[in-house]
Amino acid sequence: MLEERGTYRRIWEIAWPVSVSTSTLTLLTLANLFWIGHLGTAAVAAVSLAGNILFIVFGISDIVYTGAVAIIARRVGEKNSHAAMAGAVHALCLAALLGVSIGIVGYLIVPAIVGFFDAAAEVSDTAIVYLRIMFACQFFLYVGTALRAAYQSVGNTRTPMFVNLVVVLLNAVIDPYFIFPAGHVAFGTFPLGWLGWGVAGGAVAACVSSAAGMILMLAVSAATRQPFDWKAARRIRLAPREFLRMLRVGTPASLTLIARPLSTFLLLKVIASFGTAAIAAFGIALRSFSFNWIFYSGINAAVATLVGQNLGARNLRQAENVVRRGFLMTSVLGTVFCFVYFLWSQQLILLFDSEPAVVAAGEPFVKLMALGFLFNAPMLPLVSAMNGAGETRVPMIAAFLANWPLKLPLAYALALPLGYGINGVWTGMLVSIVIESLMVFAWYRRGTWKLKQV
């Protein structure tokens, strides 16, 4: 009983700062969508379209995040501080390289990506501008991700939380001033306009905040010598084999994370064929689901970190115990969220857009995904355990099989040839979630993740 309580306490110590950070980012994302909603359905559709593309880009950063956590946490468990710091240095360098490369390539190919969906000209033009600005700030986001992974790997999630709170507060303050013109009055009382850059203003505000966050995190790390004594980093020589090790662990995890949104990226072409309202409904629903991640993110971070540390210390029994506790916690949360989203599906859509067509398309999507929570919520700590152990290929295979040969053809067939319309797309997505969850559970039970060497 004492060991059980200790496990829950350790999960909580790591999880709650991550959940607080996620909550602030989630609320900021929803607030941003709320302000942009004042610009009309076309603006919401443009940001929704861009958001799905950016989520794929965000998934690529998992190469650094998961690779760093698996390697650094394992070295921490082995009590090898020099090797742990070497992992952090290599993660920062890899993050900087990826951030610059993706920013440049993304900026250049944005028109082709957006044009693939054949959306209305007003939606496409706005999305291109928004995405080009967001691609320009990927360097800040990627380096910040590497720093966060280093802190998390040693069990310190509070410092990134405090830095994130500052960044979110900054973004919350400047966002409406960048979006609305001078003289704009919010809620009939408060003047909140200045530059009037519209949707582009929201992207600029996000970039300014991201840059400020990276600079602040670097300054705090240098001043406090956390999570390592960075002066000693001068003695570390960059080694190609360390970059390859991080890529070998992190790349499958990244592919796992982007398998669903990348397949959905192609599915968006089908969704777009049902009009601007369908795109807007899809984006609104996905943003509302980010509320779940407030709770899941903390538990997942704790499970990955503690599994890595315990495997490094060769404490297999405690690693398994951590996963069991995480599984129980997310299962309970998934059940609660299922009821909440199913019962208040219409209200969630109305919160952001009262257009009848948007509500009609979005309500069944929210209800079907609510049922999916019963399956994918328990799966999350199992994937985190395998990621923390460095066994990242198994979740990648499950994600690929469920989303590409299954979801894409099924959703397309249900929506168009079989005539179920937009609800056919939503049904195909639910089926893929159920199948992926069952595959992950079956592979986890085999226990090979406990033998993985990193």
Angstrom distance (rounded) from CA 454 to CA 446: 19
Q: How far apart are CA 399 and CA 383, in angstroms?
A: 11
Its pTM stands at 0.87
310 and 317 Cβ atoms separated by less than 8 Å = no
Per-residue pLDDT at 187: 58
3-state secondary structure of 194: strand
Q: What is the pLDDT of residue 172?
A: 80
Res 162: pLDDT:
92
Residues 6+ apart with CB under 8 A from 440: 379, 382, 383, 394, 395, 398
**Other C-beta atoms within 10 Å of 112: how many?**
9
Give residue-wise pLDDT tens across range 327-361.
Answer: 999 999 999 999 999 999 999 899 878 888 999 99
Q: What is the pLDDT of residue 247?
A: 95
Which residues are paired to 407 by β-bridges?
A: none
| Cβ pair 67, 250 in contact under 8 A | yes
Tokens found for residue 119: 């959306």
Give the residues of the chain that fall short of pLDDT 70.
Answer: 1-5, 25, 27-28, 30-31, 184-190
| Contact present, 44 and 284 (Cβ < 8 Å) | yes
Between CA 362 and CA 365 the distance in angstroms is 5
Please give the pLDDT value at position 2.
Answer: 40
